[in-house]
Amino acid sequence: MTRYFTWSDFDKSVDYIANQCKFMNLSGIYGVPRGGLCLAVALSHKLDIQLIEKPSKNSLIVDDVFETGTTLRNFKHIEGANFFVLVSKQKPIWWNAVNLTHKKEWIVFPWENKRNELQEEKEYKKKRGLN
């Protein structure tokens, strides 16, 4: 099953995260490359908080999808860090998610190359044994 995440979905998600974070004393916003970069830039503008090149103490760390946790787990040790993702394929524990979805759902974000969508989905499913 494919889910198309629209720019409208993105804007609503940015507003939601910004409202959750507006009273936090954040040192900066870090977007995990590549998926978290669009979100980090949008939140940086919305919250008027600087983008940072690497996560640091009390930073907001954002990504597009939490699937296995491998990516965000690399930053879990950072003191005071807060974590948000647009979509989580697991129930959030130490991270926050705007949207929850099923493990097998393929998400297509509006900034992605639509021409590569079918091939990327096929590779994703093959790699995870979801065929």
Question: Average pLDDT of 21-47?
Answer: 96
For residues 87 and 9, the answer to whether their CB atoms sit within 8 Å is: no
pTM of the model: 0.87
**What tokens does 94 get?**
């130490």
Q: What is the per-residue pLDDT across 77-129, written as a single tens digit (0 to 9) for each?
A: 999 999 999 999 999 999 999 999 998 888 999 988 767 666 666 676 676 67
Q: What is the mean pLDDT of residues 4-18?
A: 96
Share of the chain above pLDDT 90, in %: 75
Predicted local distance difference test score (pLDDT) of residue 1: 80
In whole angstroms, give the CA distance from residue 21 to residue 84: 10
Domain containing residue 30: CATH number:
3.40.50.2020
pLDDT at 118: 63
Whether pLDDT at 45 is above 80: yes
Q: Which amino acid is at 45?
A: H
Structural domain of 75: 2-128
Task: Say what the pLDDT of residue 128 is.
Answer: 65
Q: DSSP 3-state assignment of 7? A: helix
| Count of domains forming the chain | 1
Closest CA to 96 of 19, 12, 2, 17: 17
Q: Evaluate if residue 70 carries a pLDDT over 90.
A: yes
Q: Taking residues 58-83, what's their average pLDDT?
A: 96
pLDDT of 51 reads 98
Whether the Cβ atoms of residue 51 and residue 31 lie closer than 8 Å to each other: yes
Residue 88, by phi and psi: left (phi above 0), alpha (psi -120 to 50) or beta? beta
Q: What is the mean pLDDT of the chain?
A: 91
**Amino acid symbol at 39:** L
